[in-house]
Structure 1
Amino acid sequence: MDARFDMSDVRRLQRHLARSIPVVRRDARAVTMRGAVNIKRDWQQNARQTAPRHAPLYPGSIGFDLAGFGPDLWMAIIGPDKGGPQGALGNLLEYGSVKNPPHNDGGRALAEELPRFEAQLALLAERGLAWGV
């Protein structure tokens, strides 16, 4: 019985991953940014349709920040800027109160973007792992 092991495929995979990982990291940031822009835009559009007449500036207060945690983790924080015009109404408009029903503008925007976002991340992972084809 021969106990030798051919490492050539393992080395080839190692080289492929070394080249792929920086590309996937860069593209993951771009996918997160695109998803945040889409959610922000849809949230603003939903808010324009449902915001009460006494809150006409509220949709303009919706924005996002992109935060990176090391080279591999990106997070977008999306919602109304409480310091902006009528941004402090965000909780009341989004979640409602005893006397006002919730609008769920952000929740609907997130639900619409989630399948597209997940599909793009899956595509990134697939491209990053595809080798030797």
Structure 2
Amino acid sequence: MTLYVDASDLDSLRRDLVGAAAQARAEAPEVVREEAAQVRKEWRANARRTAGKHGKHYPNSITMESREGAAWEIGPDSAYPQGGMGRGFEYGSVNQAPHLDGTKAAMNSEARLEQSVADWAEKLL
């Protein structure tokens, strides 16, 4: 008895997966950048509502910066007016309760980012 194994479809699958991996490396940073921009926007909006007169410059200090790969850092930048006050606004101090503006924005982004990545992965594959 002779057995024949046809693996011709495997080579096509390999090419498809290699192509998808290259496309994923190219597109992933943009998918994450879009959500990072949304988190920054929401954090700023939260801060505008909670910072009061004493923190009128704080919302504009919230920036985003690209990191290696598909990563972004979002938060107050001490180079901006009141950016160094971020820890006090976010986590509170002896003079004020925590605002948790960034925490709320990050928590709201979790489901959106998950859905964005799922939609992108489905389109990719």
TM-score (norm 1): 0.85
8 Å contact kept, 2:64–2:74: yes
SS in 1 for 2:46: helix
8 Å contact kept, 2:63–2:77: yes
Aligned to 1:104: 100
Alignment of 1:91-130 (within 5 A): 91-129=87-125
Between the aligned partners of 2:106 and 2:87, the Cα distance in structure 1 is 16
Displacement of 1:21: 1.7
Q: Which amino acid aligns with 1:82?
A: S
Between the aligned partners of 2:95 and 2:59, the Cα distance in structure 1 is 21
How many residue pairs get matched? Answer: 125
Greater CA deviation, 91-100 or 33-42?
91-100
Q: Any idea what the Cα deviations from partners look like across 1:82-110, whole Å, max 9, x if unmatched?
A: 12100011000001123421101001111
Between the aligned partners of 1:2 and 1:119, the Cα distance in structure 2 is 49
8 Å contact kept, 2:48–2:59: yes
Aligned to 2:8: 8
8 Å contact kept, 1:17–1:128: no
Between the aligned partners of 2:88 and 2:35, the Cα distance in structure 1 is 25
Instruction: Considering fraction of residues, name the structure with more helix.
Output: 2
8 Å contact kept, 1:24–1:128: yes
Displacement of 1:34: 0.3
Gaps spanning 5+ residues in structure 2: where? none
8 Å contact kept, 2:89–2:98: yes
- Over the matched positions of the two proteins, sequence identity in percent amounts to 37
Between the aligned partners of 2:3 and 2:119, the Cα distance in structure 1 is 38
- Could you say which structure has the greater relative contact order, defined with CA pairs below 8 angstroms and 6 or more residues apart? 1
Gaps spanning 5+ residues in structure 1: where? none
Aligned to 1:67: 67
Give runs of ≥4 in structure 1 deviating > 6 Å: none
